[in-house]
Amino acid sequence: MRIKHQKDFWSGLMFLAIGLGFAGFAQQYELGTAQRMGPAYFPTALGGLLAILGLIIAIKGLARGERGADIERFHFGPLAVVLGAVSLFGFLLRPAGLVAALLVLIGVSAYASHEFRVREVIPLAAFLVVLVLAVFIWGLGMVVPVWPAFMQR
């Protein structure tokens, strides 16, 4: 059987799975009664509701009259590069300091663009680092290590 509306079908399944997940995990907490609701009461109800909504969406996606647009291709490359750069920033910020973390973030994330040019990224990175230092460190007085740990007294 051909799935009529790909986007609806898969988003329905996603909602169904998340709803069941929340309702399932909530069972380790106390349910309580309608009068005195425990911590599991509202999440169980909402999780159930989300699962039902997801099921309806998925079924409608299977059977709907007109054919919907198929899901566009996932570009995992840019996604991984951009979010990887962000995670690296978080990972490097404390041990390596703001300047190094920013240089990595800008260098790696700029690589995600198909117009990546090294000689454009270097001045951009330099400009952004100076801007960030000026605004956040000297301007707003943000407390964050600027230089790597070994360079600090």
Partner 1 sequence: MELLNNLMLGLATALTLKNLAYCFAGTLIGTLIGVLPGLGPVATLAMLLPFTYALEPTSALIMLAGIYYGAQYGGSTTAILVNLPGEASSVVTCLDGYQMARRGRAGAALGIAAIGSFFAGSVATLLIAAFALPLVELAFRFGPAEYFSLMVLGLIGAVVLASGSLIKAIAMIVLGLLLGLVGTDVNSGVARFAFDIPELTDGIGFVAVAMGVFAFAEIVANVEKHEHREVFTDKVKDLLPTRADVKDAAPAIARGTALGSLLGILPGGGALLASFASYSLEKKIAGAKATPPFGQGNIRGVAGPESANNAGAQTSFIPMLTLGIPPNAVMALMIGAMTIHNIQPGPQVMSSNPALFWGLIASMWVGNLMLVVLNLPLIGIWVQLLKVPYKWLYPAILSFCCIGAYSINNNPFDVYVTAIFGAIGYLFYKLDCEPAPLILGFILGPMMEENLRRAMLLSRGDPTVFFTRPLSLTLLLMAAALVVLVALPAIKSRREEAFQEGD
**1 contacts partner 1 (rule: CB under 8 A):** no
- 94, 130, 134, 151: residue in contact with partner 1 (rule CB under 8 A): 94
Decide: 104 and 88 in contact? Cβ < 8 Å: yes
Burial of 110 (0-12, 13-18, 19+ CB in 10 A): buried
**106 contacts partner 1 (rule: CB under 8 A):** yes
For residues 94-106, b (16+ Cβ closer than 10 Å) or e, as one string?
eebbbbbbbbbbb
CA atoms of 111 and 138, how far apart (whole Å): 29
- 17, 27, 31, 39: residue in contact with partner 1 (rule CB under 8 A): 39
- Closest contact distance (angstroms) between CB of 23 and partner 1 is 9
Q: In the stretch 113-152, what mask flags binding to partner 1 with x, by CB under 8 A?
A: xxxx---xx--xx--x---x---x---x-xxx--------
Cα separation values, 62 from 6, 69, 74, Å: 8, 13, 21
**104 contacts partner 1 (rule: CB under 8 A):** no
* Interacting residue ranges for partner 1, rule: CB under 8 A: 7-8, 10-11, 14-15, 18-19, 22, 25-26, 29-30, 33-39, 42-43, 46-47, 49-50, 53-54, 56-57, 60, 71-72, 74-75, 78-79, 82-83, 85-87, 89-91, 93-94, 98, 102, 105-106, 109-110, 112-116, 120-121, 124-125, 128, 132, 136, 140, 142-144
